[in-house]
Amino acid sequence: MDEKVQANYDSSSIQVLEGLEAVRKRPGMYIGTTSSRGLHHLVWEIVDNAIDEALAGYCSHIEVTIGKDNTITVKDDGRGIPVDIHPKTGLSTVETVYTVLHAGGKFGGGGYKVSGGLHGVGASVVNALSVWLEVKVYKDGHVYYQKYVNGGHPQEPLRMIEDCDIDRTGTTVTFLPDPEIFTETTVFDYEILKNRLRELAFLNRGLRITLYDDREADKKDSFYYEGGITEYVALLNKNKNPIHSTIIDVSGEENDIMVEVALQYNETYNSGIYSFVNNITTPEGGTHEDGVKMALTRILNKYAQSSGMLKNNDTSLMGEDVKEGLTMIVSIKHPNPQFEGQTKTKLGNSEVRGIANHIFAEAFERFLMEHPEEARVIVEKAMTASRARVAAKKARELTRRKGDLDITNFYGKLSDCKSKDASVSEIFLVEGDSAGGSAIKGRDSVTQAILPLRGKILNVEKARLDRALSNEEIRTIITAFGTGIGEEFDLSKLRYNKIIIMTDADVDGSHIRVLLLTLFYRFFKPIVEAGHVYAAQPPLFVIKHGKTIKYVLNEQERDEYLASLAPNTKYEIARMKGLGEMDAEELNETTMDINKRVLRQITVEDAIAADDVFSKLMGEEVEPRREFIETNATYVENLDV
């Protein structure tokens, strides 16, 4: 190696060490959190590089394996990372990609750098946060290998270790996340990996993605969708009775921006609209989604008028009306996306709005003209929704006029807290009058409000807003929250910082909890997304020994606690009664006191998965519900959506 390269090697190796050290010092800066979410983000960084190779047209199959030891292996059949010396760093390109921060940038020419939620921090971050990582490159009939240890330090330079078939090419990476960084867990969740890998297969039509789990015998799933996002819409609509047969599939390109839209209406009253930029989920939407939605409303109004279905003096269809029962996916590829919004997941590029609008409008209008039958069904659905919206407005005004929706007129149901400071206030939604009574007695009346629920509330999965508003209990909940509902909803008016569902740990209790979660998810989703919703966890057992009384949440905690007692300690253990049988003191002591209780925060980890759970559990179809409950009984019990 001549002097120049050697010198360069020293300076860049210092930069490398500082870079990797920086990542280990503040991992949150690079992967968001070091929780389970951050752990799984490592996989997305590596998978995204393989997907880029597929987008470039060189990779057709990506395999992800969860190892017995919770390692992850990602394997692609692309060209294989170049093994030459990288001009800028004096290191092999492989070592550059895996040890220089952000070295994984754009791969050569145009193409789209697909990047995970934090926009492609690169493979070197994964290396820095792993106990070890090894890369194998298959190219020119040889296998090249390099291993990095203790947060990315190369053990030795890249070297050829063996021969392989001359026509075998690709990159295989295996890594073991560092438990010193991922202190919460280093165990990978198969469902999380499966859902996202399936989504990536939908978003990249024709690419096969296979997931293996070596921790269990022959556990694998393989995804391959020639139809791409139209097959995604078909899956999302599976249990929702589509109202027209064709899944509308639009794709177009302008100014190096690719736009794809797939949509189909179903008979429910909810909308499932999901948008992506370069395979990144954009839950806050943005200009791509806005452009398509504007076109959808404009073209449906235009068709409704020109076909005479909408008379001149009829009110036009609003955005909310054309969203009812709509399952739609908007996926765009953009060479230089700009993200904004609270969680940097809203697309900001203004030029996209117009491009998405007219690419979709032209194709959608052509579809309606060529499919008059399906067009009529779609327009009729929107017109019915429009009438229901007007009715809901009247129902809201009516109830407000009668004073039902204002705070004073339902003293009998809500025992409000004295504090008016939302940031310290919390409301318990309690199953049954007796538990409600004990909760009112046992609570801290300054900060804790109690709303006893009389048995099951209406299943809103199958109800429009006007029907929900006609339900007494739901009106009480809407008023207690203070945010309003539907188009009036305003999160800043939420009267409590915590909304705590307190139901028994039995089947009835979990059914009421799921009914409430359905209500919150369908009509108060921002409240759930902001993390205000919790489930109280009443103890399942009480253990008494000497003067000590210990409440435990479940069998596991019981066994751990019993194991912690001195040998041959005399103790009594009993299964707790239901909330209704606890006295005020016990209820407060075990489930409400903010210093003693254990709450489980309800999160919307994955909107699509949550939507799927609710429509299966609460939708019309009985079959999927029974099959779902049978296969996921434990999952239903721990419904964290």
For residue 83, the Cα-to-chain-centroid distance in whole angstroms is 37
Contacts of 615 (CB under 8 A, 6+ apart): 239, 240, 268, 270, 461
Residue 158 as a binder of ligand 28F (CB under 6 A): the answer is no
Q: Which of 358, 336, 196, 345 is nearest to 285 (CA)?
A: 345
Min dist CB 94 to ligand 28F, Å, is 9
Round to whole Å and give the CA distance between 611 and 597.
29
**Among 91, 97, 292, 618, contact with ligand 28F (rule: CB under 6 A):** 97
Q: Which of 357, 340, 86, 377 is nearest to 245 (CA)?
A: 377
Active site residue 508: yes
Catalytic entry in 340, 487, 490, 506? 506
Min dist CB 35 to ligand 28F, Å, is 24
Round to whole Å and give the CA distance between 492 and 483.
7
Nearer to ligand 28F, 201 or 326 (CB): 201
Catalytic entry in 289, 426, 431, 466? 431
**Among 43, 74, 304, 352, contact with ligand 28F (rule: CB under 6 A):** 74
Catalytic entry in 63, 213, 504, 606? 504
Strands of 448-453's sheet, edge to edge?
Answer: 448-453, 426-431, 498-502, 533-536, 599-601
Q: Which of 356, 376, 358 is nearest to 368 (CA)?
A: 376
**Binding-residue pattern over the window 106 to 125 for ligand 28F, x denoting contact by CB under 6 A:** -xx-----------------
DSSP string covering 259-325, please?
Answer: EEEEEEEBSSS--EEEEEETTEE-TT-BHHHHHHHHHHHHHHHHHHHHTTSS-TTSPPPPHHHHHTT
Nearer to ligand 28F, 193 or 292 (CB): 193
Min dist CB 117 to ligand 28F, Å, is 18
Round to whole Å and give the CA distance between 179 and 197.
24
Active site residue 506: yes
Min dist CB 289 to ligand 28F, Å, is 30
Residue 200 as a binder of ligand 28F (CB under 6 A): the answer is no
Cβ atoms of residues 176 and 71 within 8 Å: yes
Buried b (16+ CB within 10 A) or exposed e, 417-455: bebeebeebbbbbbbbeebbbbbbebbeeebbbbbbbee
Nearer to ligand 28F, 175 or 360 (CB): 175
**Among 46, 247, 259, 355, contact with ligand 28F (rule: CB under 6 A):** 46
Min dist CB 115 to ligand 28F, Å, is 13
**Among 12, 41, 53, 363, contact with ligand 28F (rule: CB under 6 A):** 53
Residue 523 as a binder of ligand 28F (CB under 6 A): the answer is no
Give the number of other CB atoms < 10 A from CB of residue 599: 18
Cβ atoms of residues 137 and 77 within 8 Å: no
Nearer to ligand 28F, 86 or 153 (CB): 86
Tell me, by CB under 6 A, how many residues bind ligand 28F: 16
Nearer to ligand 28F, 50 or 128 (CB): 50
Active site residue 640: no
Cβ atoms of residues 587 and 439 within 8 Å: yes
E strands present in 2-125: 61-66, 72-76
**Among 45, 63, 76, 260, contact with ligand 28F (rule: CB under 6 A):** 76
Catalytic entry in 365, 404, 508, 620? 508
Distance between terminal CA atoms of the chain? Answer: 56
Determine the interface stretch with ligand 28F among 47-55, 443-451, 576-584, 585-593 (rule: CB under 6 A).
47-55
Residue 78 as a binder of ligand 28F (CB under 6 A): the answer is yes
Active site residue 2: no
**Among 23, 114, 173, 257, contact with ligand 28F (rule: CB under 6 A):** 173
Residue ranges in contact with ligand 28F by CB under 6 A: 46, 49-50, 53, 74, 76, 78-79, 81-82, 93, 97, 107-108, 171, 173
**Catalytic residue positions?**
431, 504, 506, 508
